[in-house]
Structure formats: C-alpha cells, structure tokens
C-alpha cells in the first residue's frame, strides 16, 4: 500500500473530510456529478455507477470499515479502492468535497470541518 496514503488520510481531499455524510442526496450529487462523470468522458463504460462508487467511499469514511470489508452492494472493494486512488491523485475527490462543504454553509457538516482525527483509525482503514 502507498505510504503517502497514511500521511494524506486526514487532509481536505481525504475520505475523512466528509465523514459526516454516508450517502449523497440527489441535490448533493447534482453538485458534484460533473467531476466524477464528466461529459465527453471516453473509454469503456464504468462497471460500477459513479454515484454508487462515491457512496461506497463515503460509507467507508463514515463507518471506519476496512476496504476489504466493504459490503458487496457497493461493488468489489479493489475496484472502489483503485478508483478512489485515481480521484485522489488527480484532485477530483478534493474538488468534490470542497464543493459539498461550501454548499453546506453553516450546517452541522461545515461546522465539523475539519473533522476530528484519529490517526490510528486512519492508518488502519484508509
């Protein structure tokens, strides 16, 4: 596993940055859909719908579940993990989470940002 993952696990583009959300509402998905599924995207169609992929990543952040124990309804954990690595590396995840936090304004979620960090938990799960 990439050792930088542990050092970056609690930054603004991390899974922990929006650990208060477990599933995106339709309105929240509309705000970030263009980042995860950009118009004109080329290549093979996604095996797992992008929204399901994002929801699975939020589930992991919220529950602290290890990647390997991701419930089957979210798809194969390895596929989700690889996609999260790509989105994190190219800045998609950080931009999406920034949009969501900005739209939440003074709500509970924005007030809890940055979230409480537990490095031992982050090392074991992210």
Which residues, 6+ apart, have CB-to-CB distance to 74 below 8 Å? 48, 52, 53, 55, 56, 59, 80
The average pLDDT across 82-106 equals 87
Tens-digit pLDDT profile for residues 44-68? 888 899 999 999 998 988 888 899 9
pTM above 0.75, yes or no: no
Tens-digit pLDDT profile for residues 110-123? 544 434 334 343 44
How far apart are the C-alpha atoms of 101 and 66, rounded to whole Å?
24
How far apart are the C-alpha atoms of 50 and 97, rounded to whole Å?
15
């Amino acid at each position: 596993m990439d050792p930088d993952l542990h050092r970056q696990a609690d930054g603004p583009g991390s899974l922990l940055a929006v650990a208060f959300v477990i599933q995106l509402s339709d309105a929240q998905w509309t705000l970030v859909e263009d980042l995860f599924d950009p118009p004109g995207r080329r290549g093979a169609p996604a095996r797992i719908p992008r929204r399901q992929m994002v929801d699975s990543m939020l589930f992991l952040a919220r529950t602290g579940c290890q990647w390997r124990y991701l419930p089957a309804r979210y798809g194969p954990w390895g596929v989700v993990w690889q996609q999260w690595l790509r989105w994190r590396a190219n800045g998609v995840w950080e931009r999406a989470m920034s949009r969501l936090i900005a739209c939440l304004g003074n709500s509970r979620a924005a007030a809890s940002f940055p979230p409480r960090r537990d490095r031992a938990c982050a090392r074991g799960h992210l």
